[in-house]
A and B are shown apart, each in its own frame.
Chain A
């Protein structure tokens, strides 16, 4: 098959290969090893297939590419409409990149109902990818809600002590918020007769949607609340620490790595894409919440006695940067926001893998149960430090690029936003290095820790790609930015017009 004809069906392939894999898994006999190997092969196949997207993406073209648009249901008018731009393409690759690592990291930590675990994992992958490929609002909502079930089951069935509480909280919290988005989608459908993102966007821009002016603020909020819970934006974040602490490692990796980005992706695509004027109008308080999230998340993270909770709160802080960048409406800010999404996915995903590796050995996340681990586990300590440095935004690693661009953009929007946000560079160094010191430095405090084995081959295989990616993204961000930038510019076009209109008045 030549690449031309592959491009026409690529999004269907990328989205549904994991699902197809999970269906095949149903047929495979319950031999754990076979199941794991098969899941690994499927996730790798899905990763390799997804690489077609960035390789063949036309970087200078605005608008959606690799589009498929087929009528799915005539009444109501639902289309199977998929397409990607320079932003969503990387979120897809992030998902397919992290999933094989999740399979590897779950290899020995999942003992029971192994088959169900990997089936759920692959279903989750399809749902996540579907969120980023869908251009039909109904399809989007379908995938959006579809991520909930496998994730809640992963937490509820394979999690730790309070797993059911955490799963229910996660499920209800995000589902209740999504109802607002559903209402907004239905309103738009009622007025335009279409679920198609591009059609609705054009209708709004041309002013042909009746009563739009009156409803726009509510529609904006409907979408925004659903996204803000997912991000999570302060003060809607309290489901996250619980979910993370209880989730199995693979669940945490995909939760922090990809699922949270559904929220920020949604803001970028739908809030900015459909409601530029309302986005502008609401930006001040959103930016303030983002800033609170950055600082508050970091400070609460600083004092967590539980390693996983610490990383969870650090996500609140990092995702605050993303929201700050998006609502700065500046080129640097949006580029940076997208870059932080990807960088955080890799770095925090890796942090959760590292925490999981330790949990498998000691069955605890309490920082005080460790200390001096650099002596028995030098290689593990080196990987951990590398990822910590990526996460604190050391230049030449991936965290820096995005944070710098976001803060620079926020500073252009309003200096005080950039200044307050930039205090994050101090806090992040504080909470991560302090944790690192307590876990790895000093003498080994607990006798059991003296004989902890260092990383094995499988764990190394899971960590190397993440570490290499953190470095590559820091050294050659241009590979990503060159396709993010055009997408971001077209997202910002209406804002330039808005600004011109304001000046013109």
Chain B
């Protein structure tokens, strides 16, 4: 490992930006606020690029011990940073996409009253996310982990006067806390058995353990608990429920935090812990199954959503499932590859959706859009590219990473592949559905666009309009990346770059044996289902736009179940939330606390009062008499002492 004294600057710079804007933003001009936010977010990106140019696949990891943090007995956790090929990829994605979305936010949020607050929170998010990515130990990672949750809470509830936004922020924080509970227990297990939380120290101890040895139960437990944490942060079954609600936040937040970066933290954490997972086949299988099921489940919900951001939210959950499925079949680099391309096209999809919402005065319902292609050609063009990319149309980015995952999944089990390909079909369908409903046909919105203060964004009355170039530039850059990003994986270059981290995974050797014939066949299949989904969407939402409503009616309760997200939120409310709240109120508080414990105390006090007339003075309520009682008691005590001394 090579020391690199600049590593700590990468997270700390955005923190400085957040602090400056947080403390002084209220009095500053919007220009000054924007400058601060962009400089302190752009500088880490510059640093990351600078590091990347000097860093190759063969380079030894960088590290930097910044300061001591916790030391108690033999336990220690410090502010130590670490960068290897895996963190470098994450670093570039987070700072790069993050910087673009900061630029976009300047235009998108300019008219909002709390502009300084927004920019400060965004910088704060970057600080925590970069801490998470660059941490050298699990506890520092946990700072970032909980910290991005905080940033997410603040930004989802950014328009706090809206009750739904406030509730969504709280829900996100609490559901994430459930995941963090699992993460914490995993850390305790690691401390208990390996005496440290430092990545290198822990993995060096785990490396020699084999799946067959007695360590398997322990490593499986650790792996499963880490996965609980990952499921919370990355919105997997059963903890995904917060992410759709998180769409209450301003759209740049959805793009940055709830699509491109924060929600991928779970994938990153699992990949970072690959040494543990590779030796815990049971845990790995759970990761794969959870990922596959989430991918399919969330995709089906995406079909029936009418809110443009909700479609993208379920799509994100589904694509994250893809990444976990990849990790679950030990194809970590494929998972990270998809993480990267997904950051490009999903970030772009959200920003473009934001541009649409911005251009029609805050409307998010796709049923009130349509025909927007002519009003906002650049938004349409870029969103179209992103749609092609996510649908898996070659040669765009999504095709390569998705194909890589499907291929690795096939090598593990055809079931994973089948779920993956069905999901790919549904994905293509709902994405083109979104595109047709939004940009084709006739405009179905109000003739004049109303301003919706605090309901995403609005500019007042007018025709639908294209966004200014400050907002479109990031779209164009992300569109370019969505086109060419996939070539990073050409000839397995991406996998080779990450090879020193994943030590050319055990699974890889087996996979190469299956031969290229099958690989090409599967590639053909995935192109086929992508085109099939496109075609179906074209048919239903362009050629025969009356048909979907009739199908929905005919499907009846099945359609309603899907449209209502399978009633999972309602189920959780009945199963968990209500029993806890009602039980605490009626049984614990009114029942046990006031009814039993306190009543006993007061009763025994009452009966004690009746014992003696003298004691009855105690209820006089005159505190001076109590003071007298204490003095008297003290006198008795001292008398007793003296008597003992005399004896």
B160 cross-chain contacts in A, Cβ below 8 A: 374, 440-442
Residue of A nearest to B159 (CB): A441
Chain A residues contacting B200 (CB-CB under 8 Å) are none
Binds B, one of A25-33, A144-152, A344-352, A459-467: A144-152
Interface: A9 (CB within 8 A) = no
Task: Fill in one digit per residue for B566-599: 1 if any A CB lies within 8 Å of its CB, else 0.
Answer: 0000000000000011011100110011000110
- Contacts A299-B588, A395-B147: A405 and B177 contacting too (C-beta < 8 A)? no
CA distance A167 to B625 in the complex (A): 13
Chain B residue at minimum C-beta to C-beta distance from A305: B585
Min distance, Cβ B177 to any Cβ of chain A, angstroms: 5
Chain B proximity of A102: nearest CB distance (Å): 20
Number of A-B contacts (CB under 8 A): 181
Residues 408-430 of A, flagged 1 when their CB comes within 8 A of B and 0 if not, give 10011001001100110110011
A238 x B597 contact (CB < 8 A)? yes
Bound form: Cα–Cα A411–B189 in Å:
8
Known: A300-B588, A482-B71. A153 touches B623 (CB 8 A): yes
Given contacts A75-B646, A168-B618, contact A433 B188 (CB under 8 A): no
Report the minimal beta-carbon distance from A404 to chain B, rounded to whole angstroms: 8
User: A189 and B588: CB pair below 8 A?
Assistant: no
Complex: A296 Cα to B593 Cα, angstroms: 10
Contacts of A411 in B (CB 8 A): 185, 188-189, 191-192
Tell me which of B94-102, B162-170, B311-319, B512-520 binds A.
B162-170
Give A375 to B142 CA distance when docked, in angstroms: 32
Cβ-based interface call for A76 (8 A): yes
Contact (A395, B70) CB under 8 Å given A172-B605, A375-B161, A430-B174: no
Q: Confirm or deny: B59 has a beta carbon within 8 angstroms of a beta carbon on chain A.
A: no
A389, CB-defined interface residue at 8 Å = yes
Task: List the A side residues contacting B619 at CB < 8 Å.
Answer: 168
Interface residues in A463-489 (C-beta closer than 8 Å to B): 475-478, 481-482, 484-485, 488-489
B173 touches A (CB below 8 Å):
yes
The answer to whether A75 touches B191, judged by C-beta atoms less than 8 angstroms apart, is no
The answer to whether B185 and A419 touch across the interface, beta carbons within 8 angstroms, is: yes
Residue contact B147 to A418, C-beta cutoff 8 Å: no
Most chain A beta-carbon contacts within 10 A, residue among B162, B185, B584: B584
Residues of B within 8 A of A156 (CB): 623
Most buried by A among B139, B153, B174, B626: B626
A396→B147 contact, CB < 8 A: yes
**What is the bound-complex CA distance between A484 and B71, given in angstroms?**
10
Residues of B within 8 A of A426 (CB): 174, 177-178, 181
Taking the complex as formed, is A157 at the interface, i.e. its CB lies under 8 A from any CB of chain B?
A: yes
Interface positions, chain B 189-219, Cβ under 8 Å from A, are: 189, 191-192
Smallest beta-carbon distance A419→chain B, Å: 6
Stretch at the interface among A126-134, A264-272, A328-336: A328-336
| Contact of A77 with B191 at beta-carbon distance under 8 Å, contacts A300-B593, A405-B72, A481-B70 already known | no
Q: Chain A residue with minimal CB distance to B182?
A: A422
Interface flag for A303 (CB, 8 Å): yes
Contacting pair A433 B581 (CB below 8 A): no
Is there an interface contact between B174 and A182, defined as CB atoms closer than 8 Å?
no
Residues of chain A within 8 A of B644, CB atoms compared: 76, 186, 189-190
Is the C-beta of B456 less than 8 angstroms from some C-beta in chain A? no
Interface residues on B, range: 35 or more
Indicate if A437 sits at the interface (CB-CB under 8 A): yes
Chain A: number of interface residues, binned into ranges: 35 or more
Q: Which residues of A contact B623 (CB under 8 A)?
A: 152-153, 156-157, 164, 167
B634 within 8 A of A: yes
A395 pairs with B146, CB closer than 8 A: yes
Judged by a CB distance under 8 angstroms, whether B50 is at the interface is no
In the bound complex, CA of A172 to CA of B608 (Å): 11
- Contact across chains for A300 and B589 when beta carbons are under 8 A apart: yes
A44 sits at the interface (CB 8 A): no
* B161 A443 Cβ-Cβ under 8 A: yes
When distances are taken between beta carbons in the complex, the residues of chain A under 8 Å from B161 are 372, 374-375, 441-443
Say whether A478 contacts B68, CB under 8 Å.
yes
Assess the B634–A145 pair: CB atoms within 8 A.
Answer: yes
In the complex, B419 has a CB within 8 A of chain A: no
Partner of A149, one of B165, B170, B627, B646: B627
What residue in chain A is nearest B637 (Cβ atoms)? A182
Contacts of A478 in B (CB 8 A): 68-71
B135-156 vs A: 1/0 string, CB under 8 Å?
0000100110011001001000
For the complex, is B157 an interface residue (Cβ under 8 Å from A)?
Answer: yes
Cβ contacts A to B, 11 pairs, < 8 Å: A164-B621, A169-B601, A189-B644, A296-B588, A404-B139, A418-B188, A425-B181, A425-B184, A441-B160, A478-B69, A478-B71
Binding site for B on A (CB under 8 A): 74-78, 138, 142, 145, 148-149, 152-153, 156-157, 164, 167-169, 171-173, 175, 182, 186, 189-190, 235, 237-239, 296, 299-300, 302-304, 331-332, 335-336, 372, 374-375, 389, 394-396, 400-401, 404-405, 407-408, 411-412, 415, 418-419, 422-423, 425-426, 429-430, 433-434, 437, 440-443, 475-478, 481-482, 484-485, 488-489
Q: Which 4 A-B pairs have the closest CB atoms?
A: A331-B73, A75-B645, A441-B166, A335-B72
- With A78-B641, A302-B584, A440-B160 known, 19 other A-B pairs at CB within 8 A are A149-B626, A149-B627, A153-B627, A172-B618, A190-B644, A296-B592, A299-B584, A302-B580, A395-B143, A408-B75, A411-B191, A422-B184, A422-B185, A434-B170, A441-B157, A442-B160, A442-B161, A442-B166, A477-B69
